[in-house]
């Protein structure tokens, strides 16, 4: 399993949000990995198996999923990795006018 994984649930429909492009960036904005959510709304392999401690970002292209009138055309989540060898799961709950996130397992 990859060190960083994600999952997007469309809370308006109660279904996984498939096809959302996600960019994984380092603290300096450098690209580490990119992918798209699968039919279950997940990216199970995003990035390397180890990372240096620091602040990282996941950028979700929610505008392509929600449409051209999307209130949130993208969602950027910054998070800190302290242990660069442990798994970090970053889920997103998405609706047309809100989103939330938490550290998953």
In this prediction, residue 16 carries a pLDDT of 98
Name 20's Cβ contacts closer than 8 Å, sequence gap at least 6.
Answer: 8, 36, 37, 41, 60, 61, 62, 64, 65
State the 10-residue block means of pLDDT for the chain, 105 residues long.
Answer: 88 97 95 97 90 95 95 96 90 96 93
Is 42 marked as a binding-site residue? yes
Contact predicate 56/79, CB 8 Å: yes
pTM for the structure as a whole: 0.93
87 is in an annotated binding site: no
CATH number reported for the structural domain that contains residue 52 in this entry:
2.60.40.180
Domain with 67, as residue range(s), is 4-101
Please tell me the predicted confidence (pLDDT) of residue 48.
86
Judge whether 7 is annotated as a binding position.
yes
Predicted local confidence at residue 2, as pLDDT: 65
């Amino acid at each position: 399993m990859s060190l960083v994984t994600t999952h997007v649930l469309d809370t308006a429909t109660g279904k996984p949000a498939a096809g959302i492009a996600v960019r994984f960036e380092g603290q300096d904005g450098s690209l580490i990995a990119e992918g798209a959510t699968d039919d279950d709304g997940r990216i199970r392999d995003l990035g390397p198996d180890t990372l240096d401690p620091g602040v990282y970002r996941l950028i979700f292209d929610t505008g392509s999923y929600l449409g051209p009138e999307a209130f949130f055309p993208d969602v950027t989540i910054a998070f800190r990795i302290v242990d660069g060898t442990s798994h970090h799961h970053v889920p997103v709950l998405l609706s047309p006018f809100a989103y939330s996130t938490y550290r998953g397992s």
